[in-house]
């Protein structure tokens, strides 16, 4: 048996496992989830970016430090060891190169429609934990906390649609961390999100992308009605659909793979969120098969020692 882990451990290992499973052939995916395989698991960019963000926040929140960590991932392969699958998306690459050229941290992010991308979501999950553990479930009522969330995302993806998707995801995760059932967490998180973003004119037009997700019978729609196009909101729909139609960690990952044969981000996110919800030992057992797992365990150790992701630690500031 593997010893129970912390929330940040379940999040990061769940993410790495989910991303790795998405890269496996279908037959190997099925065998692994049945417990019939100890296949080596090769994680990739989404996990690396989450590790990068976690490592920075373990030192306290400094926007410049988050950017420095992202630069070190991009230029020096920190948190991206050999054996992992690294692929820099166009928006992230351009934003990091913008910063290299101009050294303007608030102007580096891309604000065009291309930046409304699913590639921002995984990197922001550790930020959701950080905010919940530092401020509490009501961080939506804390403008400095919401500004922090948007600014960290905006370092690369500064489109309003991407920022709203990040906010919706974070609010749903905060409800899960507060002990709510998945269905209630989704309902509450979306309600808080609609309330918050409708008060800010710059975001109002983006809310139409979340109307379907906010329908009471959303979980009953056929999976193939969710059209994944690389944008953040449809990917969030696929993630939530997978979680709502599952009763266990394994089932959630299986549901995510309905979407994931052409999209590795959905299984990555579903596995991470299901891991912190179910806290299934299977996540930690699968984690034993991750390549370069020392990189992951080192970042987890830093996060745990920092107490900045600890449920019992809720100071009033974000440092």
Q: Does 1 map to a domain?
A: no
Indicate whether 293 belongs to any domain.
yes
Q: What is the pLDDT of residue 260?
A: 60
| Res. 2 pLDDT band, cuts 50 70 90 | very low
Within a domain: 240: yes
**How confident is the model at residue 261, as a pLDDT?**
58
| pLDDT over 90 (residue 313) | no
User: Which residues contact residue 30 at a Cβ distance below 8 angstroms, ignoring those fewer than 6 apart?
Assistant: none
114-158 per-position pLDDT tens digit: 999 999 999 999 999 999 998 988 788 889 999 999 999 999 999
| Domain total in the chain | 1
Domain membership of residue 246 (yes or no) is yes
Under the banding of pLDDT at 50, 70 and 90, the label for residue 262 is: low
Residue 161 has pLDDT above 90, yes or no: yes
- Region 31-40: mean pLDDT is 89
Mean pLDDT of the chain: 93
Distance between CA atoms of 293 and 81, rounded to whole angstroms?
10
Looking up residue 102, the CATH number of its domain turns out to be: 1.10.4080.10
Asked if the structure places residue 316 within a domain, the reply is no
Position 46 in a domain: yes
Q: What share of the chain in percent tops pLDDT 90?
A: 88
Structural domain harbouring 147:
7-306
- Does a structural domain hold residue 2? no
Q: How confident is the model at residue 187 (pLDDT cuts 50, 70, 90)?
A: very high
User: What pLDDT score does 263 carry?
Assistant: 82
**Residue 229, domain member (yes or no):** yes
Question: Do residues 290 and 16 lie in contact, with contact meaning Cβ atoms separated by under 8 Å?
Answer: yes
């Amino acid at each position: 048996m593997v010893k129970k882990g912390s929330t940040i451990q379940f999040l990061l290992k769940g993410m790495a496992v989910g991303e790795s499973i998405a890269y496996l052939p279908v037959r190997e995916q099925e065998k692994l989830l049945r417990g019939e395989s100890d296949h080596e698991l090769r994680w990739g960019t989404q996990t690396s970016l989450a590790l990068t963000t976690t490592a920075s926040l373990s030192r306290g929140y400094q926007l410049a430090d988050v950017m420095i960590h992202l630069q070190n991932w991009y230029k020096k392969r920190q948190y991206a060891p050999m054996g992992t699958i690294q692929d820099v998306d166009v928006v992230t690459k351009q934003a990091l190169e913008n910063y290299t050229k101009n050294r303007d941290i608030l102007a580096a992010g891309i604000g065009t429609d291309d930046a409304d991308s699913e590639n921002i979501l995984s990197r922001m999950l550790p930020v959701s934990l950080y905010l919940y553990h530092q401020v509490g479930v009501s961080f939506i009522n804390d403008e400095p906390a919401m500004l922090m969330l948007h600014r960290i995302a905006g370092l690369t993806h500064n489109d309003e649609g991407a920022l709203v998707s990040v906010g919706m995801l974070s609010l749903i995760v905060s409800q899960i961390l507060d002990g709510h059932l998945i269905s209630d967490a989704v309902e509450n998180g979306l309600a808080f999100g609609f309330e918050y973003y409708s008060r800010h004119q710059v975001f109002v037009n983006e809310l139409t992308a979340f109307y379907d997700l906010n329908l009471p019978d959303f979980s009953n729609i056929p999976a193939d009605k969710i059209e994944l196009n690389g944008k953040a909101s449809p990917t969030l729909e696929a993630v939530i659909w997978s979680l709502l139609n599952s009763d266990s960690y394994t089932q959630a990952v299986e549901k995510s793979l309905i979407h994931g044969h052409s999209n590795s981000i959905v299984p990555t996110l579903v596995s991470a969120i299901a891991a912190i919800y179910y806290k299934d030992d299977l996540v930690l057992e699968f984690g034993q098969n991750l390549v370069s797992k020392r990189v992951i365990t080192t970042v987890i150790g830093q996060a745990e020692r920092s107490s900045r992701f600890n449920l019992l630690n809720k100071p009033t500031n974000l440092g």
